[in-house]
Amino acid sequence: MMEREVHTARLLARRSFSGSPLDFHLEFEALDLDRFDFLPGQFLSILSERARPDGRIKQETRAYSLASPPNGNRFDLCLNRVPRTENGAGFFSNLLCDLPIGDTIAFHGPHGDFVLRQPLSDCLLLGHHTGIAPLRSMLLHLFAPDGEGRSCGKHFHLLHTTETESALLYREQFERMAGEFQNLHYLPMIEVGRPESKPEIVNGAASARLLAEIATLLAAQPAIQTAYICGLNAMVAPVRARLKELGWDRKQIVFERYD
Ligand SMILES: Cc1cc2nc3c(=O)[nH]c(=O)nc-3n(C[C@H](O)[C@H](O)[C@H](O)COP(=O)(O)OP(=O)(O)OC[C@H]3O[C@@H](n4cnc5c(N)ncnc54)[C@H](O)[C@@H]3O)c2cc1C
């Protein structure tokens, strides 16, 4: 098997969203690369060693979508804590959420094919919770101050679903961008019936309301030809099935599953 080149990056900054201890925006700088080149929407794989109960060391790897557009040797990640359980779940997300500023991570990448399809067409960008990360990378690239014309005048409909109001990550930024660009449409959606009192439980399932909302949007905007979907499979699978019921070809549906 081909050896993957492992790089090092230092955590420069971290901020939570709406003061929540569950969701974080992290900013890194690659230390051994002048430029970290990737396509908006791709992810990197982060490595860490973990001691097993029997004392042996196991190498753990998890994927994280790049939440920023290419920017020299800097990159952003966006992640949520997965609750820790007795059988060891939640190891990596908690490690990263609690990583001290100035500490380093080992990673390889970029990887993945969750990238904008060319030529661009009007599209639906659907992300659940931290599934917004690769979509943010795409939109910041398309609507960059120095990127005039990159969006080719196509319409981008960003539908961000979350369980709670506080998990509408980057809301102000998207609202600002949608106010500035006529062809960017921001549609935040809080799933009804999810308790704000238990925000650590993220199951990301697509509700009947979400599926209906998508059908309504596509009927009103027939020029939408591509859908980019990112989140847990409980959301991704039913949305893909619904789009196929609506007559979409699988090539029109680009998706990234977090589990
Ligand atoms: C291509 C790709 C890109 C990804 N990008 C991101 C990202 O940008 N941000 C991010 O937060 N996560 C992302 N993930 C998920 C991430 O890799 C880890 O799976 C997640 O952080 C949980 O790791 P863990 O060790 O804490 O928990 P684990 O013990 O590995 O997982 C525990 C359980 O949590 C589920 N799970 C996985 N991801 C999530 C999640 N985000 N929310 C709730 N439950 C989850 C798993 O299905 C599993 O059942 C991505 C996954 C893939 C495959």
What is the distance in A from the centroid of ligand 1 to the CA of 259?
Answer: 6
Do 7-111 and 123-257 show the same overall fold? no
Task: Tell me the backbone φ, ψ of residue 64, rounded to 5 degrees.
Answer: -140, 130
Q: Determine the pLDDT at residue 199.
A: 57
Atom of ligand 1 nearest to the CA of 256: 1
CATH architecture group of domain 7-111:
Beta Barrel (2.40)
Q: Whose CA is nearest to atom 7 of ligand 1?
A: 64
What is the distance in A from the centroid of ligand 1 to the CA of 155?
Answer: 30
42 touches ligand 1 (CB under 6 Å): no
64 touches ligand 1 (CB under 6 Å): yes
Sign of the torsion angle spanned by Cα atoms 188, 194, 200, 203: negative
92 touches ligand 1 (CB under 6 Å): yes
Atom of ligand 1 nearest to the CA of 95: 26
**Two tokens, residue 143:** 């609507």
Domain residue spans of the chain:
7-111, 123-257
78 touches ligand 1 (CB under 6 Å): yes
Q: Whose CA is nearest to atom 26 of ligand 1?
A: 90
Rg (CA), the chain: 18
The residue count of the chain comes to: 259
pTM assigned to the model: 0.96
Rounded Cα distance between 152 and 13, Å, is 33
Rounded Cα distance between 168 and 128, Å, is 9
Contact criterion met (CB below 8 Å) for 182 and 35: no
Q: Whose CA is nearest to atom 25 of ligand 1?
A: 92
255 touches ligand 1 (CB under 6 Å): no
Contact criterion met (CB below 8 Å) for 221 and 246: no
Query: What number of other Cβ atoms are within 10 A of residue 134's Cβ?
Result: 27
**Two tokens, residue 191:** 């799933």
SS3 annotation, the chain: CCCCCCEEEEEEEEEECCCCCCEEEEEEEECCCCCCCCCCCCEEEEEEEEECCCCCEEEEEEEEECCCCCECCEEEEEEECCCCCCCCCCHHHHHHHCCCCCCEEEEEEEECCCCCCCCCCCEEEEEEHHHHHHHHHHHHHHCCCCCCCCCCCCCEEEEEEECCHHHCCCHHHHHHHHHHCCCEEEEEEECCCCCCCCCCCCCCCCCHHHHHHHHHHHHHCCCCCEEEEEECHHHHHHHHHHHHHCCCCHHHEEEEECC
Give the residue carrying structure tokens 């109960």.
Answer: 53
82 touches ligand 1 (CB under 6 Å): yes
Tell me yes or no: is domain 123-257 CATH 3.60.130.10: no
What is the distance in A from the centroid of ligand 1 to the CA of 101?
Answer: 22
What is the distance in A from the centroid of ligand 1 to the CA of 32?
Answer: 26
130 touches ligand 1 (CB under 6 Å): yes
Q: Whose CA is nearest to atom 6 of ligand 1?
A: 64
Query: What number of other Cβ atoms are within 10 A of residue 4's Cβ?
Result: 13
- CA distances to 83, 161, 169 from 203, in Å: 12, 12, 17
258 touches ligand 1 (CB under 6 Å): yes
Output the tens digit of pLDDT for each of the chain's 259 residues.
567 899 999 999 999 998 888 999 999 999 999 999 999 999 999 999 998 888 899 999 999 999 999 999 999 999 999 999 988 899 999 999 999 999 999 999 999 999 999 999 999 999 999 999 999 999 999 999 988 899 999 999 999 999 888 899 999 999 999 999 999 999 999 975 555 556 555 667 788 889 999 999 999 999 999 999 999 999 999 999 999 999 999 999 999 999 9
Q: Which amino acid is at 223?
A: A
Q: Determine the pLDDT at residue 20.
A: 85
Rounded Cα distance between 133 and 62, Å, is 15
Q: Whose CA is nearest to atom 34 of ligand 1?
A: 82
Rounded Cα distance between 83 and 218, Å, is 35
Rounded Cα distance between 128 and 167, Å, is 10
95 touches ligand 1 (CB under 6 Å): no
Q: Determine the pLDDT at residue 164.
A: 87
Q: Determine the pLDDT at residue 19.
A: 82
